[in-house]
Structure 1
């Protein structure tokens, strides 16, 4: 007999070919009060997934599959042969998208009137089980969780901006959802969703968990409203009580010029991060530089097109980067945006140009004809902060890979954590100190309204300095102050890193 070992949780696990002797042993242990801890599980070597679980007070048969755990019945009600038959029939029901609960109840009642397993099975279980194709199930139901996510995203992603769509999808693809991937929606409940939520919380930040919760509810709302026949969600929207205790705060972190310059110097110095030998692309480093130099939102910035860059009138050597209303983030009324770029910034970015690329974008990605995304820029900052990327979903029979270990370069070099949006506050704070608050507002494409206490002041500055809609001269005044300050901070921090690396014992 195989030696018992602890399974996940607190049950002792023993894998054997189950016989009547094991049920007798289980009954004796219960009667004598000798069941230790939470209990003991006998895993049947003769029927995959069949478990005899023995607890201090009772024993029961279970079927464990990748999709679900089904209670087959009490040990006393099902002899070993009957339990195996129940397990086989229940597995077929699960593959058909049905829960075998009603069939199992009939099966146990039939066994009470006859000792013949085959006769009881004929009475309880369908003679033929039809497993519908994926296409048939998607069209007619019943949907699984995976069906819901795929159909919901197919309906919603075309309505999203290209820069936002990957983020929107990611919140419904976290590894925590794997536990319910094949579960029929009609079997979902709040408790199950809460277990998934808590599993997701182990892998991502609480703000991302909150987005996953909200998008889970949005997907269920959509199916309940438009696909009730296929989803089988019933008449009551039970998931309304599914939630998370989280309130988004107002982020007010303003990185210093020294922190921004040190970050840029570290990004250039450490092209390879972690144990992988894949270097950060020049396009991504250039995009990080541009994020700091321009303080633009990284979605439109990463997709800057070369054919939308024009010379700036009356300022030799300057460029104007332009974005259409569709490129810009702005709710229901996005507006076009243009930003003057001084020669010093152009010279910095020229260091990362690839003469062999024919990309139409200013910041090309590693993928042909694609551009650096906001996720790519944020991902570079994450890697510099030592954050490990979650391992990909393993293939069948393969173990999950541990996250790649990384060094937190921010912590090592005294940089407080910051995200791309914080660069906007840094520019705004700097230009406010330079009495160029109106220029900052114009550079950042801020909207002003009647309820904005800065509205009158900014509008007055705008009218006095530049009357045209894009206010290029006003923006240029701000960029003339900000860009040299960033480059000077970078040069100081780079020199400090070089000095530190040259000291004995330093690498």
Structure 2
């Protein structure tokens, strides 16, 4: 290890940077410049890093870097010595205060503000508290830019990631751009691009909200708005999967087959799918609605259409829709009968609360992930989390077999529920209704309170009658394009169900011939 004692200036800094860039030192070992002007300061080159280090007795602290030119980059000798002087005092006083001071210093706070942060417990909000205040503020009844339940779920999912927890517990005023970028990069590597982009989007939203509305309590009036410079240097490539109706139906028949037997590689005796969840999947296939909203349909919001004996009307309030606007969709009787053939066999069939109740919890609705899980299980893509059975009383325990991709074996390419929208669009375009998909998928009721329900209303004997009247009024009034919706829904659902009948008959004939 080579050491040079001198007054560190620009020449020495440039030499250190050159060594760090190349990753080579004169003797191939650690190289150190010890400053004679501030004797506790050294510039140390190791591998491809040139670090500014302050030493006190047997302790040392890295206060910044001459190279690489990223986090905590400092190259001006006078700036380094001033910072080193303050850090040395803290090391003598209480070494535990150094990290808080450096966090505050590099977050843009002045020396006095940074020392204040180091010398006492922060009395401003942590980033976690900022998140909660933002959610509370944006969901308040009088919120100016209100967010819905799905957005709140997105916030919760984004900030609940394990890698975020240490950062969330820091005072917001001490959080740095590097902290958030580190979380972003970890999520990008281990989860994916879309969740990583949400790290940036929601962090920026939280800090913006608190800086504008709670500057003092959050402490964000003391720092520059560095979060405006947060970025995700990557993009999500648009998908172009468009499953054919034949593949969609073949998948549904495959799921139906496993209502009465376990999937390969699973614990024997447990059916691969269940009727209630399959009903939910059929509902999403036949309506092409977003999964979260589709599963949140209230039981009393599926009503008969008084103007047609061939349709029902399904309605969603604005707070469950992504666009924040209520939505009414006509459902052909034939489609509802298909869905109901599975729905009425569900574990909690007849729920007064949810159109698609959970198979596990009586008072909850089926979840988007639960319905999606059918597709993942058929493809063998889901995590195997069940525990192996233990042999009891000499009984032989069925052995697990290797899981298989049943979709691939059946010649079906992987598809997602969102892909159905492209399938819907093509079918309707081919049938001369290019605007049909838009009105089925659009959410265009602007009367925000039309579907609100009070507890007293639900207790009335004529509640369902009044509910039907309200939904019917919404469907046929305003900009709902009900005639076009009915035509589009009939074409799409007939195309799917006609193919279902064809494949079902073909399968039955094959089985009969085999006997």
What TM-score comes out, normalization by structure 2 length?
Answer: 0.58
1:105 aligns with 2:88: yes
Report the equivalent of 1:178.
165
Partner of residue 486, structure 1: 496
Q: For the aligned residues, what is the CA RMSD?
A: 4.8
- Counterpart Cα distance in 2 of 1:78 and 1:291: 68
2:232 paired residue among 244, 251, 254: 244
Matched residue of 2:412: which SS?
coil
3-state SS in 1 of match to 2:343 = coil
| 1:428 aligned counterpart, secondary structure | helix
Task: Provide the residue aligned with 1:426 in structure 2.
Answer: 423
Q: How many Å separate the matches in 1 of 2:384 and 2:218?
A: 30
Match of 1:226 in 2: 213
1:14-66 CA deviation, whole Å, 9 max, x = no partner?
Answer: xxxxxxxxxxxxxxxxxx97979x9xxxxxxxxxxxxxxx9969xxxxxxxxx
TM-superposed CA distance for 1:312, in Å, is 3.4
Match of 2:133 among 147, 151, 154: 151
Shift of 1:494: 6.5
User: Partners of 1:34 and 1:467 in 2: how far apart?
Assistant: 80
Matching residue of 2:252: 264
Among residues 272, 275, 285, which one is paired with 2:278 in the alignment? Answer: 285
Counterpart residue number, 2:485: 475
Aligned to 1:123: none
Post-superposition offset of 1:438: 4.8
Matches within 5 A, 1:304-383: 304-313=297-306, 315-316=308-309, 318-331=311-324, 334-353=325-344, 354=346, 356-357=348-349, 358-365=351-358, 366-383=360-377
| Residues 356, 298 of structure 1: alpha-carbon distance in 2 compared, 3 angstrom cutoff | closer
Q: How many positions carry a matched residue from both structures?
A: 374
Q: Does 1:301 align with 2:284?
A: no
Q: Is the contact made by 1:175 and 1:200 (CA closer than 8 Å) also made in structure 2?
A: no
Whether 1:216 and 2:197 are equivalent positions in the alignment is no
| Contact kept? 1:305, 1:360, Cα under 8 Å | yes
Q: Specify whether residues 420 and 226 from structure 1 end up closer, same or farther in structure 2 by C-alpha distance, changes over 3 A only.
A: same
Name the structure 2 match of 1:78.
57
The CA deviation string for residues 436-474 of structure 1, in whole angstroms up to 9 with x for no partner, is: 4454444334769xxxxxxxxxxxxxxxxx999655454
Tell me the CA shift for residue 256 of structure 1.
Answer: 0.8
For 1:227 and 1:178, the matched residues in 2 are separated by: 22
1:155 alignment partner, SS class: helix
The secondary structure found in structure 1 opposite 2:315 is strand
Unaligned residue ranges in structure 1 (runs of 5+): 1-31, 39-53, 58-70, 84-99, 112-125, 392-404, 449-465
Is 266-275 or 412-421 further displaced after alignment? 266-275
Counterpart residue number, 1:160: 147
In structure 2, the residue corresponding to 1:320 is in which secondary structure?
strand
CA contact (8 A) 1:34 1:56 kept: no
d(CA) in 1 for partners of 2:478, 2:211: 49
Change (3 A) 1:177 1:345: same
TM-score (normalised: structure 1): 0.59
Partner of 1:5: none
Structure 1 residues 467 and 181: alpha-carbon distance in aligned structure 2, compared to 1, 3 A threshold = closer
User: Is residue 312–residue 318 contact of structure 1 (8 Å, CA) maintained in 2?
Assistant: yes
Q: Alpha-carbon deviation of 1:495? A: 7.8
* Residue of structure 2 equivalent to 1:253: 241
